[in-house]
Amino acid sequence: MYLIGFPLLVIPFAIYNMIAFLMPTFSWTDHVATIRLVSGRDWTVTPADILLAFSILLLSIEIMKSTRMSVRAIIDHVLSMLVFIVMLVEFLLVPQAGTSTFFLLMVIALVDVLVGFIVTARTAQRDLQIERVEPTV
């Protein structure tokens, strides 16, 4: 799969930055659509909701990618860590990134990093246990 080695969460990060810097009057809380639920309640969808839902879908793909053991998977984990670090620095230093939407994107990136390393470590531990040979007496 050619997506291994490329952190997919760069996509919503880039979308956020393009919108935030190229369209300074854009509001993440504007209403995109209103959907009437069966309960009778109206659900209003915002651009922030759409971007965060898209990011969570990409996170699920990232988690599936983290189950593979290879050099490219390790590179993918390192790149995911770099994406999180860049997002953290941008959140702390850039005024346009100081929003709840960007903060939640950053948390999703953190979950990607943590899950990637945990799944890799657990998979490696399981591989070591399977290959361990008991000493003969």
pLDDT one-digit tens code per residue, 47-93: 999 999 999 999 999 888 877 767 777 788 889 999 999 999 999 99
**Which among 80, 79, 75, 78 has a CA at the least distance from the CA of 110?**
80
pLDDT of residue 33: 94
pLDDT of residue 130: 54
Report if pTM > 0.85.
no
Is residue 127's pLDDT more than 60?
Answer: no
Tell me how far apart the alpha carbons of residues 67 and 38 are, in angstroms, rounded to a whole number. 38
pLDDT of residue 37: 92
| Residue 110 contacts residue 59 (beta carbons within 8 Å) | no
Percent of the chain residues past pLDDT 90, beyond the cut: 64
Contacts of 14 (CB under 8 A, 6+ apart): none
| Mean pLDDT score of the chain | 87
CA 91 to chain centre: 15
pLDDT of residue 77: 85
pLDDT of residue 118: 86
Number of helical H runs and strand E runs in the chain: 4, 2
* Torsion sign, CA atoms 77, 83, 88, 91: negative
Of 37-41, 65-69, 73-77, 129-133, the range with the lowest mean pLDDT is 129-133
* Torsion sign, CA atoms 11, 13, 16, 21: negative
